[in-house]
Chains A and B, each alone.
Chain A
Amino acid sequence: MTFVPNTAAQRAEMLRQIGVERFEDLLVAIPPELLMQRQLRVPEAHGEVELARAVEKLNAQNLHIPPNRVFAGGGAYMHHVPSVVDELSSRGEFYTAYTPYQPEVSQGYLQSIYEYQSYICMLTGMDISNASGYDGATTLADAVLMTNYVHKGKRSRVLFAPFVNAEFRNVVDTYCIGMEMRTEVLTASEQGRLSPQTLRDALSDDVACVVFQYPDCLGYLDEDMEELTAIVRESGALCIFSFYPFAAGLLKTPGELGADIVCGEAQCFGNYVNYGGPYCGFLACREQFVRVLPGRLIGRTVCERDGSPGMGFVMTLQAREQHIRRNKAMSNICSNQALLALRACIYLGSVGRNGFRQLAALCHANAMSAHEKLVNITGVQDAFPGRHFFNEFTLRFPSSQARQIRQRGLEQGMLVGIHPLVESDGTLNSDSNAGMVEDCLTFAFTEMQDEADSDALARLVWEVVSGS
């Protein structure tokens, strides 16, 4: 198939006007030994018929788990995508636009990003949000590097509160290679919390930031967050929150809890889980850090609109960015995830204030209901009894049964929990808190499940644990 419109005759005419006889004459600058003498080794061109067949064939090899039978999160959440999100975001004017370099013809896209920034500020309790980043882990890494710039490179230690998702931490580690920052994981108390004393002991004047995940990767909420952030602030370090923004429907924002920088994943707002990407990382901060916030920012300004003074939108504070600062830029970010940010925007507008609160409550309700069913099974325990959670929680199983439960789930077309220490590609991660969650699984719930689904889950767990 080709999407080249010019005919052979047109091409010949164009070559004539260029002043060459053959196409190859245009390649004289390429050393002859570099010119390919064979065809590329890729499959023969497919028409749409063959393509449809290839796509079906590929998918037929895979196990398909229905969305309501996915009881797993770990950074990606199976929420419903309203029809209106797909319909509106697939409009070609949005879909096939590039970065809005020419504001006169990009007002619509610019405005949608301004709206996105406003939503992120509301949900996080921050003052400024960028126009989005690659995903929740890279924006966490961006946040960590921001604190390096805030402290002008004088503080190089990064502390992770216990139970920050290992996959997120690994991305931060990669980003820290260049700046030579060091990361450490703080030890959890017996209840799986961060004790104020542990935090105080770890802080010193070389700590740039402390990273909290909220809820943490086991799903738990810490009631004493304000006390912890106050301790961090006292030491001169900054508080970063990696936040699951769906929880904002019910819970206080990280801003209220004392965060300086908040990041996370907006995939949950109208974006498919898509086997892990593309997602939409958000990154927001308090006003005083705007100069070190990487990525694009859209601002409102004055303009001439239909001949009268009016308001419009532009990319602003661009002098922070790589295309102007080059080797003095604090980040190399160029592209963002505008299309997914647009979808998040449409999603939040579509469900609205009451709908969003209702959905958040339903996620929590579904988790509570399933939790009750599961902990009533003999042999199944909370990883840390008495802890509160939003839509994710962690259970402890008799030795080696966690693996069997997951396996049995796959056999029955369910994705049953994730092991808190295992990355999505199967790699085992270990840190100082690993021993506390060895035989555990973390379960996630959204509005997709109903009672029949959690009953099926409970039955499966019971079968494995009771040996039936």
Chain B
Amino acid sequence: MSRILYTKTHEYLREEGSEWYLGITEHAQEALGDITFVELPESGAEFSAGDEVATVESVKAVAGVMAPVSLRINEINSALEDAPEMINSDSQGGGWLAKVEALDASQLDGLMDQAAYDAMEK
């Protein structure tokens, strides 16, 4: 099973092979409601942990997506530009925002695992 790490601000990083997928959690998409627009970063851009990487808009809300760790964007999910609703239907699968590379792997240790995130949710 692939490793998934979470932030307190409801982003996830999912490891698949040598890559990390960045997205917002099921809880986050539910809180936002129907998502209508996603603003994605440019490929190759680098962000420090805590920087705003992307924004996700619903009809009545807008949420910034923070970099869980310092990272570089390798690829963005351009399918979201036409179908942002994929974040609602499959936030932790097809609704990923970007494939990223962690610039400082040690920062990953500061994130929560599934159990810790579930505990926070309760």
- A contact set with B: CB distance below 8 Å: 291, 317-319, 324-325, 328
Interface, chain B (partner A; CB < 8 A): 36-37, 39, 55, 57-62, 64
On chain A, the residues within 8 Å of B39 by CB distance are: 291
**In the docked arrangement, what's the CA distance between A291 and B57, Å?**
11
13 A–B pairs (Cβ distance < 8 Å), ordered by A: A291-B39, A317-B37, A318-B59, A318-B60, A319-B36, A319-B57, A319-B58, A319-B59, A319-B61, A324-B60, A324-B62, A328-B62, A328-B64
Taking A318-B59, A328-B55 as given, write out 5 further A-B residue pairs in contact, using a Cβ cutoff of 8 Å, ordered by the A residue number: A317-B37, A319-B36, A319-B37, A328-B62, A328-B64
| Bound form: Cα–Cα A291–B62 in Å | 13
- The interface residues of chain A, by DSSP majority, are classed as helix
A345 to B8, CA, bound (A): 50
The smallest beta-carbon distance between B46 and chain A, in angstroms, is 15
Number of A-B contacts (CB under 8 A): 21
Do B37 and A324 have beta carbons less than 8 Å apart?
A: no
Q: Which residue of B has the minimal Cβ distance to A324? A: B62
A317 / chain B contacts, CB cutoff of 8 Å:
36-37
- The residues of A that contact B59 with a CB separation of less than 8 Å are 318-319
User: Which chain A residue has the least Cβ–Cβ distance from B39?
Assistant: A291
CA distance A325 to B60 in the complex (A): 10
Report the separation of the CA atoms of residues A291 and B55 in the bound assembly, to the nearest whole angstrom.
12
Q: Is the CB of B62 within 8 A of A325?
A: yes
Point out the residues of chain A lying under 8 angstroms from B37, CB to CB.
Answer: 291, 317, 319
Distance to closest chain B CB from A115 (angstroms): 23
Nearest CB on A from B66, distance (A): 13
Give the CA-CA distance A13 to B97 in the complex, in Å. 60
* Cα distance A291–B58 in the bound complex, in angstroms: 14
Nearest A residue to B52 by beta-carbon distance? A328
Nearest first, the 6 A-B pairs at minimum CB distance are A319-B57, A319-B62, A325-B62, A324-B62, A324-B61, A324-B60
B84 to chain A, nearest CB (A): 12
A326, chain B: closest CB distance, angstroms: 9
* Chain B contacts for A319, CB-based, 8 A: 36-37, 57-62
The minimal Cβ–Cβ distance linking A284 to chain B, given in whole angstroms, is 20
Residues on B with beta carbons closer than 8 Å to the beta carbon of A318: 59-60
Residue of A nearest to B62 (CB): A319
Which residue in chain B gives the minimum CB-CB distance to A316? B59
> Once the chains are docked, how many angstroms separate the CA of A318 from the CA of B61?
9
Instruction: Please name the residue on chain A nearest to B55 by beta carbon.
Output: A328
Q: Counting chain B CB atoms within 10 Å of each CB, which of A291, A318, A319, A324 scores highest?
A: A319
A325 nearest in chain B by CB position: B62
